[in-house]
């Protein structure tokens, strides 16, 4: 099959050799590119985005086959994300691929689209939420079709490239117990209706949007023992969402701010609220692997109520931990 070796292997080889290894694909990265990660799965499922995220919906191609992913960092790159993409896109088209979908940052759907992409994690691949570009392409058709997804982004000083390729599995050699070629990709509808796809939850995108637009968000589901700074056990989705946001945006810094109701003195409540924020910070670091440098803990006591302290319901609303975006 044409280009069976795949763009991934050729890209990696071009970083070390001046000449391409496959005559039919001469795809090259800039000389300052360094490989940061490679992952190959002989048989996997992959959901390839082929539309922008709009009104909570994203169209995907449900693919199965050999999955290859690789990431590169272009240190001290003067090129914009568009310039980087243009060079790679031209080579992809020259290799016989057809573009299925292409978009840029807000045109893709912003936070929601970024968190729907299944990429190698930080720090191997960095995606700036304010500057990324995406391209999906296919070569061939039917069961023999090969698909790829290219993501380009950049930070202040560096560019970043991520390549995903899905090749059809061809039988027992590729899939234990397999009896023949995998079926052709099936287009599916909204992301929420795609079963079996490990797409990040809507909470991640919603939290990112709140932080980036309003600057803060309350982690209302957190539960503390009465009068205590001990965070009750539980798999809190809001903490997982915050961890995912921070991992995707390593330049972002946040502060966890504890709040109490107005029962008791101010000094005691400030101390309690800070301890609760510190407990949340510790949980994020220990259970979710958040970089400690990205997150701090503060306490405001009862100085910033969001409801009346004259009722039990109001006091319950005031007992909370909020996350505040502090980086600009």
Q: How far is CA 320 from CA 224, 233, 236, in A?
A: 9, 16, 14
- The residues with which 228 forms a beta bridge, in sequence order, are none
Structural domains of the chain ordered from first start: 6-193 (no CATH), 202-325 (3.30.1330.60)
> The tokens of 122 are what?
């930080």
pLDDT value of position 15: 40
Q: How far is CA 262 from CA 213, 269, 297, 323, in A?
A: 29, 8, 20, 21
Q: Rounded to whole angstroms, how far apart are CA atoms 80 and 11?
A: 20
Q: Rounded to whole angstroms, how far apart are CA atoms 231 and 220?
A: 13
CB 160 within 8 A of CB 85: no
Backbone dihedral region for residue 180 (phi beyond 0: left; psi -120 to 50: alpha; all else: beta): left
Low-confidence ranges of the chain (pLDDT < 50): 1-26, 171-183, 188-200
pLDDT value of position 175: 38
Q: How far is CA 309 from CA 18, 207, 277, in A?
A: 70, 27, 21
Q: What is the pTM of this model?
A: 0.55
Q: Rounded to whole angstroms, how far apart are CA atoms 316 and 328?
A: 32
Q: What is the 3-state secondary structure (H, E, C) of 102-158?
A: EEEHHHCCCHHHHHHCCCCCCCCCCCECCEEEEEEEEECCHHHCEEEEEEEEECCCC
CA 133 to chain centre: 14
pLDDT tens profile 82-110: 999 999 999 999 889 999 999 999 999 98
Q: Rounded to whole angstroms, how far apart are CA atoms 147 and 37?
A: 20
Q: Where are the beta strands (DSSP E) in the chain?
A: 33-49, 60-74, 98-104, 132-139, 146-154, 159-167, 186-188, 216-218, 254-259, 295-299, 320-325
Q: Which helix (H) or strand (E) holds 275?
A: helix 266-288
The residue assigned the tokens 């400030």 is 270
Q: In terms of DSSP bridges, do strands 159-167 and 216-218 run parallel, antiparallel, or are they unpaired?
A: unpaired
In the DSSP assignment, the letter for residue 182 is: P
Helix/strand/coil for 321: strand
Q: At what angle do helices 266-288 and 237-248 cross, to 10 degrees?
A: 70
Task: Compute and round to an integer the Cα radius of gyration of the chain.
Answer: 23
Q: Rounded to whole angstroms, how far apart are CA atoms 47 and 44?
A: 10
pLDDT value of position 277: 94
CB 324 within 8 A of CB 258: no
């Amino acid at each position: 099959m044409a280009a069976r070796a795949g763009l991934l292997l050729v890209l990696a080889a071009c970083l070390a050799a001046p000449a391409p290894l496959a005559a039919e694909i001469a795809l090259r990265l800039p000389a300052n590119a360094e490989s940061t990660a490679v992952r190959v799965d002989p048989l996997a499922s992959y959901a390839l985005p082929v539309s922008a995220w709009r009104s909570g919906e994203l169209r995907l191609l449900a693919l199965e086959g050999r999955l290859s992913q690789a990431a590169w960092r272009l240190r001290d790159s003067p090129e914009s994300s568009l310039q980087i993409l243009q060079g790679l896109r031209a080579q992809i088209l020259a290799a016989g691929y057809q573009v299925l979908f292409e978009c840029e940052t807000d045109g893709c759907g912003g936070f929601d689209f970024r968190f729907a992409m299944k990429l190698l994690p930080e720090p191997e691949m960095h995606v700036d939420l304010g500057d990324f570009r995406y391209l999906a392409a296919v070569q061939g058709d039917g069961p023999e079709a090969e698909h790829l997804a290219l993501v380009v982004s950049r930070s202040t000083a560096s560019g970043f490239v991520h390549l995903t390729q899905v090749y059809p599995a061809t039988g027992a050699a590729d899939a234990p117990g397999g009896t023949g070629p995998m079926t052709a990709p099936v287009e599916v509808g909204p992301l929420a209706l795609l079963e079996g796809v490990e797409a990040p939850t809507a909470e991640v995108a919603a939290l990112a949007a709140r932080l980036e637009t309003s600057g803060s968000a309350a982690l209302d589901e957190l539960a503390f023992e009465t009068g205590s700074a001990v965070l009750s056990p539980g798999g809190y989705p809001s903490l997982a969402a915050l961890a995912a946001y921070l991992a995707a945006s390593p330049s972002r810094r946040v502060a966890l701010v504890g709040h109490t109701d107005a029962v008791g003195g101010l000094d005691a409540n400030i101390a309690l609220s800070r301890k609760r924020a510190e407990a949340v910070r510790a949980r994020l670091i220990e259970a979710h692997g958040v970089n400690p440098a990205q997150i701090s803990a503060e306490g405001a006591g009862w100085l910033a109520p969001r409801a009346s302290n004259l009722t039990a319901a109001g006091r319950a609303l005031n007992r909370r931990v909020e996350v505040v975006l502090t980086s600009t």
